[in-house]
Structure 1
């Protein structure tokens, strides 16, 4: 299996490192490099997932181009030869897993769209009959499709902290009423369009999160888009409401950590090769199904 890149290091450039991405300032632009790091329960594991960073970048690129006629994004190019110096001198670290993007003023909320009742939404529903304040019909099953997609914004947490669900009204207080209405409407629109496309590929888009930023006079789509890290994708041929679903993401990692009673507030661990391999296969399968392309390291 291919070598993993847990950290990029560009001489003469300082990176801001998140759980997965290394972000470099390039004047009025940014270089965003997706590493092969993997986190679960907000903890970064010691070893990475081969191909993961490339999958995340290339799926985001696919969606940015898919939506380009109806929504502007921060994506400029993923051709390293077109990057400014010194980044264009390091294709060995950046090729395939990075993109040059416009620098924006990031809106400090995450736009979460839920098409199916699962995860924390399912837990809330069992307790209160609501999901993030939205009253839902009685008798829904776990992972059942919702009557219509729910927009449930949250705060953007700093590294090591947790996002906090907020009301639509609170999101308007944070970013302004006009901006809040725009991002909620557009988030639902592109979620629904992406869901129809994914369904044709045999994949259910259960939920996702979008991020937006201000660029000049516009609000544009930023960060990663509809990847296995920011979304729940389920295989359509195995879907059955009333139980948890198989997924195209890090579920193998989460399941393994639960099995060994992993301390979710502790340090990351070395994952077994079998878990690493299965997780890599799922990321790659998601890429190939969505894009119709064959993945190569």
Structure 2
């Protein structure tokens, strides 16, 4: 993938979805600000897929910016930074301050699904947290749980870990602060979403410390890529797991890929209908949340 050339900025990194730039003449070690540009690329099962989802970068950025404005927690946005974003990438970029990121994905689950459901079926627990017997895929948990993951180097799989293992990696004080802050942010967001007829089944946050040592929310937040959103009315109506978990995120992509690829070699191209459905659901989510 070739990054876009932006006058005044130097491209330094390509992620699965985002591009990172520093001011011309700087590098990642000394840059006072960073430009994060969200592309239309979509990833699943640790692979970037073709084709991308139209307007996805813009939609993800809009969601993150909206949530940052709703949450009473320090975040990495530069105040007034939106006015200094290059016109070529306006609408899908964030000007942010650099953070010393924790190598942890702070996952909070309010409902049982995904890898948590798979682990529960084997051990009746998720990352060592025991759960009641008899839960079904998509059930609401008695209370939200914090299930961290270790961020593996690019190209490797992230690893679900216990809280005790997280303490070994980042220290007890940081681990406790990250857990408590993650649960607090999830609780606030879940209440906000439910008022709009939406469920946040689970989500992941990424935090770092700023130049003053303050734990700060970074990366994206509560987007369709980092969270599972379901329709509250459909969930309340019951039915099959597919009906209960009517999704506003990239689960459509995951489901199609799981049914049409054995995870060996290069993933197949996404059909046009899957691309269109995913784009529609992303757009509908923003409309419902921000209306």
TM-score w.r.t. length of structure 1: 0.88
What is the aligned partner in structure 1 of residue 17 from structure 2?
Answer: 20
What is the aligned partner in structure 2 of residue 257 from structure 1?
Answer: 257
C-alpha contact (below 8 Å) 2:13/2:20 kept by paired residues: yes
CA drift at 1:188: 0.2
Task: Specify whether residues 137 and 223 from structure 1 end up closer, same or farther in structure 2 by C-alpha distance, changes over 3 A only.
Answer: same
Does the residue aligned with 1:16 lie in a helix, a strand or coil? strand
Please report the RMSD computed on the Cα atoms of aligned residues, expressed in angstroms: 1.9
Does the residue aligned with 1:55 lie in a helix, a strand or coil? helix
What is the aligned partner in structure 1 of residue 84 from structure 2?
Answer: 82
Gap runs ≥5 in structure 2: 24-30
Matches within 5 A, 1:1-297: 7-10=3-6, 13-26=10-23, 27-67=31-71, 70-76=72-78, 81-83=83-85, 88=86, 91-92=87-88, 94-215=89-210, 216-239=212-235, 240=238, 243-244=241-242, 245-260=245-260, 262-292=261-291
C-alpha contact (below 8 Å) 1:78/1:99 kept by paired residues: no
C-alpha contact (below 8 Å) 1:6/1:47 kept by paired residues: no
Question: Aligned partners of 1:237 and 1:40: how far apart in 2?
Answer: 27
C-alpha contact (below 8 Å) 1:19/1:159 kept by paired residues: no
CA drift at 1:223: 0.5
Task: Specify whether residues 241 and 139 from structure 1 end up closer, same or farther in structure 2 by C-alpha distance, changes over 3 A only.
Answer: farther
Task: Specify whether residues 136 and 264 from structure 1 end up closer, same or farther in structure 2 by C-alpha distance, changes over 3 A only.
Answer: same
Question: Aligned partners of 2:200 and 2:67: how far apart in 1?
Answer: 13
Q: Kindly indicate whether structure 1 or structure 2 has the higher relative contact order, using CA contacts under 8 Å at least 6 residues apart.
A: 1
Task: Specify whether residues 291 and 249 from structure 1 end up closer, same or farther in structure 2 by C-alpha distance, changes over 3 A only.
Answer: same
The 4+ residue runs of structure 1 with deviation greater than 3 A are 5-9, 77-81
Question: Aligned partners of 2:208 and 2:56: how far apart in 1?
Answer: 25
C-alpha contact (below 8 Å) 1:77/1:99 kept by paired residues: no
Does the residue aligned with 1:187 lie in a helix, a strand or coil? helix
